[in-house]
Amino acid sequence: MNDKPLVGILMGSDSDYDIMKETALALAQFGIPFEITVSSAHRTPERTVSYVREAKNRGIKVLVAGAGAAAHLAGVIAAETTLPVIAVPIDATALNGIDALLAMVQMPAGIPVATMAIGKPGARNAGIFAAQMLAVGSPELSEKLVRFKADMARSVEAKAEALKLRVAEDFK
Ligand code: RP5
């Protein structure tokens, strides 16, 4: 990818990549340049803070944080920037992602993070949500999102038609 990244994706561990790849795929689908790296709020706090402090000057517009367990990555990022931060809770422990979800969604007043669903659906939505934020200033991107929603609606119509045939067959 040659264009300057507009979205920075941070993950607490490389073990989060299987999930966070969904964010990258969604951004790629809309042609949005991104970068993705590992940075942990507790294992590499300095790396995290220096990445976030430099992000705005490098042209990053939205940050996405994926983390599991006692996931404070999104909150730590949000503490260091006025860029919008989208959080993706990862199912990495015996608590199945509820731990990360609560850590992310329960940010105290003053430091918001936009928390998505646990796991792959949330990671995909993080990419789409970042696209929607960027589309506020881009009619071209906005048009892509309109087409995306129309395609999705058409696929539901097609599924409804296909189901009608199956039900007719099952209950004839
Ligand atoms: C969190 O701990 C990471 O975001 C990851 O979801 C979880 C486990 O990390 P590893 O032990 O796999 O590196 O900080």
pLDDT tens-digit readout, 99-111? 999 999 999 999 9
Quick check: helix, strand or coil at residue 104?
helix
In this prediction, residue 1 carries a pLDDT of 54
Pocket of ligand 1 (CB under 6 A): 12-13, 15-16, 40, 67-69, 90, 92
- Ligand 1, atom 7: closest residue by C-alpha: 68
In this prediction, residue 108 carries a pLDDT of 97
In this prediction, residue 105 carries a pLDDT of 98
Whether the per-residue pLDDT at 157 is higher than 70: the answer is yes
Which tens digit of pLDDT belongs to each residue from 35-80? Answer: 999 999 999 999 999 999 999 999 999 999 999 999 999 999 999 9
Burial letters 8-33, b for 16+ CB under 10 A, else e: bbbbbbeebeebbbbbbebbeebebe
Mutating to test ligand 1, I would choose from 9, 10, 14, 16 the residue with most ligand atoms within 8 A of its C-beta, which is 16
**How far, in Å, from the CA of 158 to the mean position of ligand 1?**
40
Ligand 1 atom showing the smallest separation from residue 43 Cα: 14
- Ligand 1, atom 10: closest residue by C-alpha: 13
Quick check: helix, strand or coil at residue 86?
strand
Which tens digit of pLDDT belongs to each residue from 142-154? Answer: 999 999 999 999 9
Which tens digit of pLDDT belongs to each residue from 102-136? Answer: 999 999 999 999 999 999 999 999 999 999 999 99
Whether the per-residue pLDDT at 82 is higher than 70: the answer is yes
Whether the per-residue pLDDT at 2 is higher than 70: the answer is no
In this prediction, residue 22 carries a pLDDT of 98
**How far, in Å, from the CA of 67 to the mean position of ligand 1?**
7
The chain-wide mean pLDDT, for the chain, equals 97
Q: What is the distance between the alpha carbons of residues 44 and 165, in angstroms, rounded to a whole number?
A: 55
Q: What's the average model confidence in pLDDT over 22-29?
A: 98
Mutating to test ligand 1, I would choose from 10, 15, 101 the residue with most ligand atoms within 8 A of its C-beta, which is 15
